[in-house]
Structure 1
Amino acid sequence: MKNMTPATGVPARSELPDPATCRHPRNPGAPLIPREDWIKEPWSSWTYLHTSEMMPTAPIWRGSGLVRPLPESVQPLGQVMINLEDGKVSVDDFLARSATDGFLVLYRGQIVFERYFNHFAPHTHHLVMSVTKSFTGTLAGILADKGLIDVQRPVTHYLPELEATAYKGATVQQLLDMASGVTFDATPLWNSVWHHQQKPGWPRTYWEAILSLDKSERPHGAAFKYRDIETDVVAFVLQRASGRLLADLISDEIWAPMGAERDAYIVVDESGFGTSASGLCATIRDLGRFAQLLVEGGAFEGRQIIPRNWIEETRHGRGWRFGSYEECGQTGYHNFWWIDNSSRGALLAHGYGGQVIYVDPNAELAAVKLSYHLGRPRSEVGSVVMPAIRAALGRN
């Protein structure tokens, strides 16, 4: 029987096939990575680090300005013990057995802990899947502060083409909180765009998919229901209001002003639309810079990049609050961000495959975990790992 990773039910790393052999320079006749499964295991251990070789992408320029320094003050946090359902383990053990590609912890703007696995490195780009949603939500906050959008207006104010769809009557804010009443089946869009499976009647672009949604399952604003398409509608609103493509918006409003070290990129559909719900690819340190920007109230080098009041409202304001949620165990959702604890106001961005950004301004703490499969529940980073690290740093 194959060795199984404890408590996950998936093969241990040593038992997985090596997807890199499909692209090995000495093995040109090797089997190809299957297009219909490239984001799944075992291929994800390679493809999440090589997404631009699997999909069309658009660049997100870092600009020509300074790079935000990340000084190091390394602490022995790998030895910190955490309590999991199947027993107590160290942080290092947790990372080794949870399909980790990289893990970064920043405290007061300094790197205090950093680990790399699976040929990942500080300069390597990694697909972050639904963490992209939180970037889109942050862009909405920036454009709202500039007066380019009003999140209380209906989406049809900016996209009148949607008057003929079930999005009629939904506000931008309702979409930011995943609360439209639109009926949506993700399978055709997901298979068409991400798996290159074109079938008659399936949409080829996100815009085509949105225009086809003419059925409702509940009134807008009546309930929370997590689905990617809400993010895409908001992204089209942002593009229409600003006159800029999503990749350029991320570059102009976040990536360049925050002092990113390297360009990022984003997966695009056939029309060139950046996949705002799941397509961002970046280095772990630049994702850490983004998290640190939020920890510090949205300002860097004297410039207010992300509105401070938007950050605080996202952490503590209106949105969906629940005792628990099976998707990732968080207690709330607002502006395309998960709320880890309603009283603490820690923010989390989650993505398929085990991608996490953790932001805790109260503790001056930020973290990024990049992985290649779901494995353990993603809530463990926010609910178990980071509280233990917080305590070890003396920041309860």
Structure 2
Amino acid sequence: MGGQTAFEKRYGFARDKVLLSNWRESPFNRWAFQNVGELVPSTSFAASGGNEAPAETLGGLLGEKVAPGGEPETIEAFLRRSCTDALTVMKGGKVVGDWLAPHMGFGQRHIIFSISKSFTAVLAGILEGEGMFDPEAPVTQYIPEAKGSAYGDASCRHVLDMTVSLDFEEAYLDPESAFARYRRATLWNPGGGSESLLAFLLTLQRLAEPHGQTFRYRSPNSDMLGVLLERASGQRVSNLLREKLWQPLGAASEGAIAVDMEGTARTAGGISVTPRDMARVGEMMRQGGMANGRRIMPEAWVRDTTAAGGSHEAWQRGTMAFLFPKGRYRNKWYQTGHESGAFCGIGIHGQWLYVNPRDEVVIAKMSSQPLPVNDQLDGEIVTFLEALSRMV
């Protein structure tokens, strides 16, 4: 028998073990989350170009103690325990340092899952500022064929704030659920290709409760947002990402987004970018929509998203209030309600873009946690991110 290949030494398994049926499972996700385009159809969006500065070490900070789980441990120990693949920390607009797991290369793209929702809502804000998109308009103004679905009497605001009264459950691990059918429509699971993403969305029905009352985390809303923006602008989401966000932002590396059988972008969870570029989006939000001395999006939209807008009552009626008891959800971003004024984007399997305005800190955390959702670990990560913000 031959020795291990370089791939096996790095990841602990052979490349041919990674399949469409297991790519989100541990340990295969350590490689798959950096190489989604080899498994799921994807399209890229170009960056502005230029060389990225080399990785900066977090140095002695890694040995500092934190206690997110109650027992003191070093920052590096927590990063490893929470299956972190990459961490980038910015302070006052400057990169403080990067941390990379042995299987993650500097400048490598990584899927950000539901932080894609937050990026898509940034596009919504940009288009609203250009007079191309009305967040208060009915969904059917842009998608008339949504009339017979749950979205038939919903507004774009309901879609943006996850308050659509949608009869759908995020059953990540149930192969027989409507969620599994949704995964097939996105081509993320075996058996797809017979139903497009939009066709699936238009079959979804509503609950009896009126729209706007309860925060319900339902990913199809964010794929619907992508379709709304395409209809409003006449452009594909990948073009919008390139022209409206990525190049004006000064992103250093090309990004990518997964697409379905019709080329519809998976705006709910399909974006892959580098840790540095994800942090740049957070810094742009911290700066009120500015980057590199130019306005990317309206300041009023950013303020509404990060501090002023959203219903605390709707958030409290939802199932995630435990994470941010004083929080709110607006335009696909979470307001923590913390004294720091922190807001964030969150993705399954441990993706976090955490912005702490008081301490002028932005933290991008990419991970390959075994479970899509881990409530206890999420709480620990919030504690960790707040502690790290104070330490840098």
Match of 2:69 in 1: 85
Distance 1:160 1:116, change over 3 A: same
Alignment of 1:295-374 (within 5 A): 295-321=286-312, 322=315, 326=320, 329-330=323-324, 331-341=327-337, 343-373=339-369, 374=371
1:55 aligns to what SS in structure 2?
A: coil
Match of 1:45 among 27, 30, 39: 30
Alignment of 1:144-223 (within 5 A): 144-184=128-168, 185-198=178-191, 204-223=195-214
- Please state how far the C-alpha of 1:70 moved relative to its aligned partner: 9.1
Q: How far apart, CA to CA, are the structure 2 residues paired with 1:164 and 1:391?
A: 50
Q: How far apart, CA to CA, are the structure 2 residues paired with 1:342 and 1:152?
A: 28
Give the unaligned 5+ runs of structure 2. 1-7, 169-177
Question: TM-score, normalized by length of structure 2?
Answer: 0.86
Match of 1:236 in 2: 227
CA contact (8 A) 1:102 1:370 kept: yes
1:256 aligns to what SS in structure 2?
A: helix
Q: How far apart, CA to CA, are the structure 1 residues paired with 2:188 and 2:57?
A: 42
Name the aligned partner's letter for residue 377 of structure 2. P
- Please state how far the C-alpha of 1:359 moved relative to its aligned partner: 1.1
1:260 aligns to what SS in structure 2?
A: coil
> Are positions 1:125 and 2:125 aligned together?
no
CA contact (8 A) 1:332 1:342 kept: no
- Please state how far the C-alpha of 1:165 moved relative to its aligned partner: 1.6
1:94 aligns to what SS in structure 2?
A: helix
Q: Which stretch of the first structure deviates more once superposed, 289-298 or 167-176?
A: 289-298
Distance 1:68 1:126, change over 3 A: closer
Q: Which stretch of the first structure deviates more once superposed, 239-248 or 212-221?
A: 212-221
Distance 1:153 1:67, change over 3 A: farther
Q: How far apart, CA to CA, are the structure 2 residues paired with 1:171 and 1:35?
A: 35
Name the aligned partner's letter for residue 235 of structure 2. R
Match of 1:268 in 2: 259
Distance 1:263 1:144, change over 3 A: same
2:323 aligns to what SS in structure 1?
A: coil
2:345 aligns to what SS in structure 1?
A: strand
Q: Please, what is the CA RMSD of the aligned residues?
A: 2.6
1:25-59 per-position Cα deviation (integer Å, ceiling 9, x unaligned): xxxxxx54232221121211111111111111101
> Are positions 1:391 and 2:384 aligned together?
no
Distance 1:19 1:203, change over 3 A: farther
Identity fraction in percent: 27
Q: How far apart, CA to CA, are the structure 2 residues paired with 1:160 and 1:369?
A: 39
Name the aligned partner's letter for residue 230 of structure 1. N
Give the unaligned 5+ runs of structure 1. 1-15, 24-30
CA contact (8 A) 2:356 2:389 kept: no
CA contact (8 A) 1:71 1:111 kept: no
Name the aligned partner's letter for residue 143 of structure 2. L
Match of 2:217 in 1: 226
Match of 1:22 in 2: 14
Paired residue total: 367
Match of 1:26 in 2: none
Q: Which stretch of the first structure deviates more once superposed, 121-130 or 295-304?
A: 295-304
Q: How far apart, CA to CA, are the structure 2 residues paired with 1:213 and 1:294?
A: 33
Match of 1:291 in 2: 282
CA contact (8 A) 1:75 1:112 kept: no
Q: How far apart, CA to CA, are the structure 2 residues paired with 1:48 and 1:72?
A: 23
Distance 1:360 1:301, change over 3 A: same
Name the aligned partner's letter for residue 329 of structure 1. L
Name the aligned partner's letter for residue 83 of structure 1. A
Distance 1:271 1:333, change over 3 A: same
- Please state how far the C-alpha of 1:193 moved relative to its aligned partner: 2.6
Match of 2:92 in 1: 108
Q: How far apart, CA to CA, are the structure 2 residues paired with 1:193 and 1:73?
A: 38
- Please state how far the C-alpha of 1:163 moved relative to its aligned partner: 1.3
Q: How far apart, CA to CA, are the structure 1 residues paired with 2:190 and 2:9?
A: 24
1:86-140 per-position Cα deviation (integer Å, ceiling 9, x unaligned): 4111211100211110111100122213110032122111011111010011111
Q: Which stretch of the first structure deviates more once superposed, 105-114 or 369-378?
A: 369-378
> Are positions 1:252 and 2:246 aligned together?
no
CA contact (8 A) 1:102 1:369 kept: yes
- Please state how far the C-alpha of 1:226 moved relative to its aligned partner: 0.2
CA contact (8 A) 2:124 2:229 kept: yes
Name the aligned partner's letter for residue 100 of structure 2. Y
1:266 aligns to what SS in structure 2?
A: strand
Match of 2:18 in 1: 33
